[in-house]
Amino acid sequence: MKRKILTAVIVVLAVVLGLAGVKAWQIHTLIAAGQAFAPPPETISSAVAHEEKWQDTLTAVGSINAVQGVTVSPEIAGTVSEIAFESGAVVAKGDLLVRLDTSSEEAQLRAVDAQVELARLNAERTRQLRTNNTVSQSELDAVEATVKQQQANADAIHATIEKKTIRAPFAGRLGIRLVNLGELLAAGKAIVSLQSLAPVYADFSLPQQELARLKTGLAVRVSSDTYPDQHFDGTLTAINPDLDATTRSVRLQATFANTEQLLRPGMFVRVEVIFPEEQTVLAVPATAILSAPYGDSVYVIESHPAKNGGKPEAVVSQKFVHTGRSRGDFISILSGLKAGERVVSAGVFKLRNGMSVQENNDLVPRAVEKPSPSDS
């Protein structure tokens, strides 16, 4: 019995040792295969970091405002009796826009005018009587005061009639009519928008760090998605004396002739303040920048000797950089990169430090300073 048990134990041990040996051989084989395996190089596109002369600019976003712009409305209530304009019309200063019903005021004015005339006649008679000392000076003063009082009443009615005759306060272009004939208008009710479109302002803000460089007279350029192939040139005309305490930014205003009236109040624009001097910058395609919470980086392509004595292989090395302003498809590098170094311009998201790569620049669009994408 003991011999059978011993034999069974020996058999079990032999089986276990055999299985362990097989498994150890398999693991060794897998490890050797993993060490010998070399992943195929990733296909990327490359660009060379190069120096360029860029005109120094500051960029911001802003909005267009009219030099003069109002929503025309009545000062006093009344019923619309005449509309003397068409929507979208161009008007001159003083042109009649809307006339409210003034029949009641005109009737009152005729009555007051009669009282004014009577007061003048009484005053003239009293002056003649005063020359003969028939009446006292106080009676003459009272009659002359009555003339002035009646004339003031007439002037007040004239002013009311004038306020009900609504005219363009300045030359410009009208918007869409918001009232109709016979409509009872309350004081302050909008009638039509009136905007002076030439010239116009562009209002925008810049950080307080740039305040020392700013001065009136600098060239300013704006562009809008409405006119993607155009830009508009103007001049910096005003710098706010105080800064926004919340954003620590200074508000600025540029003036544009806008002779073609393409820029309209309320339009969103991208603004560039252009300085006369140029700066030498190190430029790379913006697609070469890998942005992350811990900083921006690029992958630099380096040539390493091949492991088996073949051709040198291209290997990427990650470098952290400090970026500056951008222009078109390019962005400037302030530190972390040298001129002449080749960087990965497409495919950066699939790379890691030390990975081998192969370059293919045939299918990637060329980076330009003034891109104009095609609709096709």
Q: 């921006």: which residue's tokens?
A: 296
Q: Where in the chain does DSSP place strands (E)?
A: 42-48, 50-72, 78-83, 90-91, 96-100, 165-167, 172-174, 184-185, 192-207, 219-224, 227-243, 249-256, 268-285, 290-292, 295-304, 313-327, 330-335, 342-346, 356-359
Q: What digits encode the pLDDT tens for the residues 182-197?
A: 889 899 899 999 998 8
Give me the residue spans of the domains in the chain: 42-54+280-359, 58-67+192-276, 83-185
Q: Do domains 42-54+280-359 and 58-67+192-276 have the same CATH topology?
A: no
| Torsional sign, CA 339, 344, 348, 353 | negative
Q: What is the CATH number of domain 42-54+280-359?
A: 2.40.420.20
List per-residue pLDDT tens for the chain, 376 residues long.
777 777 877 878 888 888 888 788 888 777 776 665 556 778 888 889 998 888 888 889 999 999 888 899 998 999 998 998 889 888 999 999 999 988 888 888 888 888 888 888 888 888 888 787 777 788 878 888 988 888 898 888 888 888 899 999 988 889 999 999 988 989 989 999 999 888 999 999 999 998 988 999 999 999 998 988 889 999 999 999 999 889 899 999 999 999 888 999 999 999 999 988 888 889 999 988 998 888 899 999 988 776 655 677 888 899 999 998 888 788 999 998 999 999 998 888 888 888 888 888 776 666 656 655 554 4
Helix axes 137-163, 103-131, angle to 10 degrees: 160
Closest by Cα among 285, 256, 77 to 166: 77
Measured at the CA of 83, the angle between CA 80 and CA 88, to 5 degrees, comes to: 130
Q: What digits encode the pLDDT tens for the residues 289-304?
A: 998 888 899 999 988 7
The Cα-based distances of 261 to 63, 90, 273, 341 in angstroms read 15, 12, 21, 47
- CATH architecture of the domain covering 58-67+192-276: Beta Barrel (2.40)
Q: Is residue 289 within 8 Å of residue 298, measured between CB atoms?
A: yes
